[in-house]
Amino acid sequence: MRNKSFSSLEIPKWGRYLRERWREICAGHLTYEEQKEIGMDYFLWHLCSWERVECLEKEAAIEAFHKQAKHKFMVFYQFVDEAYLFEHAGSLKVTDLPYVEAHMNYSDMYVLDWDNGWSFICTHESEIGPFFIKRN
């Protein structure tokens, strides 16, 4: 990564846990049946594309991500269990994320604030997303 003013730590095998945590935090207002109905058992980001949560899209989502304090957050993926923990990454940009530089084959990437205040999502579909969810 180009920006070395922050620390990051690989946290192998945390992907499954983080995907479930994201589902509880961001989609907890939906029943499991409602989540399944919109395809969240395949892609968690369907929560945003099916407009089942208030979120920002495209450039507005990227801008919102850049404005976050980003004291501590996790990065994880839809189909692999590799994950990363970042700290003190206030100046981190979307292009600094592991997805953009090294893991394009991982498909969908989710960034979850440690305190569950926000989430940033990049999808494998270039015309859909990215998304940014801010929790109240």
Give the model confidence (pLDDT) of 47-74 as tens digits.
999 999 999 999 999 999 999 999 999 9
Amino acid identity, residue 23?
Answer: R
Residue 103 confidence (pLDDT) = 45
> Per-residue pLDDT tens for 70-115?
999 999 999 888 899 999 988 888 888 875 444 445 579 999 999 9
DSSP code at position 46: H
Residues 6+ apart with CB under 8 A from 74: 11, 14, 18, 83, 84, 85, 86, 111, 112, 114
pLDDT at 105: 52
In this prediction, residue 102 carries a pLDDT of 43
Q: The whole model's pTM is what?
A: 0.90
pLDDT score of 106: 53
C-beta neighbour count of 87 within 10 angstroms: 13
**The pLDDT value given to residue 7:** 81
Q: Confidence band (pLDDT; 50, 70, 90) for 126?
A: confident
Q: What radius of gyration do the chain's Cα atoms show?
A: 14
Residues 123 and 43: beta-carbon distance below 8 Å: yes
Domain ranges of the chain: 7-134
Question: Mean pLDDT over residues 118-133, rounded?
Answer: 93
DSSP letter (8 states) at residue 104: G
Residue 8: the pLDDT is: 83
pLDDT in tens, 4-52: 567 888 998 999 999 999 999 999 999 999 999 999 999 999 999 999 9
